[in-house]
Amino acid sequence: TQSTWGTHSRTNMISHPTKLLCFSIAIHTSSSLSVLGSLCIIVHSLSQKNLNFTKRLVVFLSTADLISAICINIGPFIRHSPRWCPIQGYILQISILATVFWICAIAFSLYNVSVKKSWQLETKEIWLHVICWGIPLVVSSLVWVFAAYGDAEYWCWISQDYPMWWWAAFYGILILGWIFSIFCYIKAHRSISSQLNEATDREIRDSLRSSASRRLSMYLFCFIFLFLWGILNRIVITITGHTYFSLALLHIMFVPSQGFANAIVYGNLWKRVRQICCKRSKHVIMGTTQTSVKVPKFSTPRARAIVARAALGNSSLAESLVPSYPSSLGSNDPTNS
């Protein structure tokens, strides 16, 4: 007998050889890019002597992305294995849900710094691990108890025979993560704009405000846009019982590429690649390897410090926009030039 959590009629599944080939190419290309992007961020970070808090968050996010991408990459090869497919689906569920939680943790970190003017979250990093790994583990284990892992048509995950678990164990949590992140970034944007108002140069002030807006928008766009196609595809499958090629292709193109996109948006992937592969003259600013930047002078120390930190423009955006005076930047403060 099958519970109400697992009543689903799988009809009109994609079976055309050419379409299946398109699926295979999309899955392995996007997931392989995510593996490479995540590895690049992790390898570069491990080569650094001291990682600040926000960079560690990016490493934890990249770790979850890496596990997810590997699972998705090997999933098509073991879809029909009654032994290995559920195990891979279980690991994928933990890692992809952890990705959602780590993205929310980064959003909350930025909110905590820019709105609450607090750095205490860094002292509670262990609790972030408990939440961002612990909750996915508990939720995924609950799905395991109901034996709901198996062939999800594209890879191994929660089986198509249990569509309600898609929503209870992942997509429902994902939507809550979207709402939470939108709230954090809107609040952070307002606070950042208010802080930048202290700069007396209107042109530079507007430029920095625009830059912060673009970066925050990129964070949200990456989080929402890539997962959106998976939600839309699963809604159609849940309601109609049919799989439509175009929507399914968008699903398997974008969802596995989450790790690659996160590496670009949060981890400054292209800069990391150049740092690993090329020898370039660098200056060390706030413990972070950066290219030399020119920072205009402003009439107030507070405004100058805000601009100096904003000019770093890397994954440490939360730290780069906290109001601080130049004296706190140390001997390498670019505003002293």
Q: Judge whether 243 and 153 are in contact, CB under 8 Å.
A: yes
The half-sphere exposure of 145 on its side-chain side, counting CA atoms within 13 A, is 7
pTM of the predicted protein model: 0.78
For 277-325, the pLDDT digits (tens) are: 554 434 333 334 443 334 444 444 444 444 444 433 333 443 444 334 3
324 — alpha (psi -120 to 50), left (phi > 0) or beta?
Answer: beta
Q: What are phi and psi of 113, to 5 degrees?
A: -80, -50
Q: Judge whether 328 and 305 are in contact, CB under 8 Å.
A: yes
322's CB contacts (< 8 A; 6+ apart) are 113, 114, 117, 119, 309
Angle of helix 301-310 relative to helix 172-196, nearest 10 degrees, comes to: 140
Q: Judge whether 163 and 20 are in contact, CB under 8 Å.
A: no
Task: Please spell the DSSP secondary structure of 234-286, one letter per residue.
Answer: HHHHHHHS---HHHHHHHHHHGGGHHHHHHHHTT-HHHHHHHHHS----EEET
Burial 255-291 (b: 16+ CB within 10 A, else e): bbbbbbbbbbbbbbbebbbebeeeeeeeeebbebbbe
Q: What pLDDT score does 121 carry?
A: 84
Q: Judge whether 321 and 185 are in contact, CB under 8 Å.
A: no
- Amino acid 111 reads Y
* Max Cα-Cα span within the chain: 74
- Amino acid 120 reads Q
Q: What is the pLDDT along the chain (337 residues), one digit of tens a residue?
A: 344 445 444 445 566 788 888 999 999 999 999 999 999 999 988 888 888 888 899 999 999 999 999 999 999 899 889 999 999 999 999 999 999 999 999 999 989 888 887 777 888 899 999 999 999 999 999 999 999 999 988 899 999 889 999 999 999 999 999 999 999 999 988 888 787 776 556 766 677 777 778 888 899 999 999 999 999 999 998 898 888 999 999 999 999 999 999 988 887 766 655 555 554 434 333 334 443 334 444 444 444 444 444 433 333 443 444 334 333 333 343 333 3
